């Protein structure tokens, strides 16, 4: 196995990195990974981490629902129910925030549910997905070919909107990828980026058992502060930040499972999710997951 270590912060470029937590990969490998924090800007990231050529094996699980719509189990059924209710909201958000209904790129489109919904709403859609099984399923669902991952196949200024639904935290080349995505936007186009929030109450409560750390698949662990700093670096501004309130319950359910014999039942999960959302409502919108609507300055 080949690992790589970041020697400087991807957001601010400083080199003073501090150990924050050690987190176990509960899903696949049972290996432990360090999460480091930049002393200058507070950005957190998994370090060291598997390199791009070797990260694939950490996604090889029948239960990884983002790559397999047939994944079973109570937790994955809960994910599918949540996806059903949030898909309409995502399309409505896209229709509201984009300058016009035109071309959409969903980067890391998984099994294609959002792309199919956007296409049904009148968008001209394109998708990229590196996982072969998910890409094949997405192609069938959307009714058109889905690419692997290269952004270079598109012309600059091609898209009114580009979406990344829980994808940016998985991308090895964070700054290069953002730069390429911005290049593909029309001048008035929008990026819509959804990621977990490391400053949420459920993150603080579960600490190393917080399921949204999801090491080593999640390479970066964003907060509103560090996301804003990263985007400012690329001459982009956050137009709006919106909550994903169901994520507090889903992440709490996974986190309780991670606690194994110490984990609680459904009532514990419901209480944890409710408390997280209540805390967010009173503390500057620090929800479990956040959607950032991003545009050029």
Q: Where are the domains of the chain?
A: 61-296
Q: If residue 34 lies in a helix (H) or strand (E), which one and from where to where? A: strand 32-38
Q: Where would I find the H helices in the chain?
A: 74-97, 113-120, 132-142, 174-184, 201-206, 224-233, 246-258, 266-282
So what's the pLDDT on residue 242?
97
Q: Decide: residue 254, CB within 10 A, 0-12 exposed, 13-18 middle, 19+ buried.
A: buried
pTM of this prediction? 0.92
pLDDT value at residue 146 = 97
pLDDT of residue 142: 98
Out of 3.40.190.10, 1.10.10.10, 3.40.50.150, 3.30.300.130, which CATH number does the structure's domain 61-296 have? 3.40.50.150
Alpha-carbon dihedral of residues 266, 69, 112, 216, nearest 10 degrees? 70
Angstrom distance (rounded) from CA 243 to CA 256? 22
CA–CA distance from 208 to each of 20, 198, 212 (Å)?
10, 11, 10
Q: What is the pLDDT of residue 64?
A: 58
β-strand partners of 34: 22
Q: Per-residue b/e over 153-187, b at no fewer than 16 CB within 10 Å? A: ebeeebbbbbbbbbbbbbbeebeebbebbbebbbe
Average pLDDT for runs of 10 along the chain of length 297: 93 98 95 98 98 93 58 58 79 97 97 97 97 95 94 96 98 98 98 98 97 98 98 97 95 88 76 96 97 96
Which ranges constitute the DSSP H helices of 98-173?
Answer: 113-120, 132-142
């Amino acid at each position: 196995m080949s690992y790589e270590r970041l020697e400087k912060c991807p957001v601010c470029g400083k080199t003073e990195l501090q150990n924050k937590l050690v987190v176990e990969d509960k899903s696949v490998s049972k290996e432990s990974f360090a999460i480091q924090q930049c002393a200058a800007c507070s950005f957190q990231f998994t370090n060291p981490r598997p390199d791009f050529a070797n990260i694939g094996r950490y996604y090889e699980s029948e239960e990884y629902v983002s790559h397999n719509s047939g994944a079973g189990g109570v937790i994955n059924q809960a994910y599918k129910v949540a996806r059903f209710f949030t898909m309409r909201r995502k399309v409505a958000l896209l229709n509201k925030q984009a300058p016009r209904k035109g071309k959409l790129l969903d980067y890391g489109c998984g099994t294609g549910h959002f792309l199919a919904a956007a296409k049904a709403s009148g968008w001209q859609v394109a998708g990229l997905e590196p996982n072969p099984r998910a890409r094949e399923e997405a192609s069938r669902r959307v009714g058109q070919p889905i690419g692997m991952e290269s952004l270079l196949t598109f012309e600059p200024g091609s898209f009114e909107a580009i979406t990344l639904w829980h994808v940016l935290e998985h991308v090895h080349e964070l700054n290069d990828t953002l730069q390429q995505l911005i290049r593909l936007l029309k001048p008035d186009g929008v990026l819509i980026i959804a990621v977990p929030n490391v400053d949420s109450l459920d993150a603080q409560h579960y600490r190393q058992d917080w399921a949204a750390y999801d090491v080593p698949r999640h390479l970066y662990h964003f907060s509103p502060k560090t996301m804003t700093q990263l985007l400012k670096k690329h001459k982009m501004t956050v137009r709006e930040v919106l909550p994903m309130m169901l994520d507090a319950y889903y992440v709490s359910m996974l986190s309780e499972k991670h606690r194994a014999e110490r984990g609680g039942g459904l009532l514990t999960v419901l209480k944890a999710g409710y408390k997280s959302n209540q805390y967010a409502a009173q503390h500057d919108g620090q929800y479990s997951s956040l959607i950032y609507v991003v545009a050029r300055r």
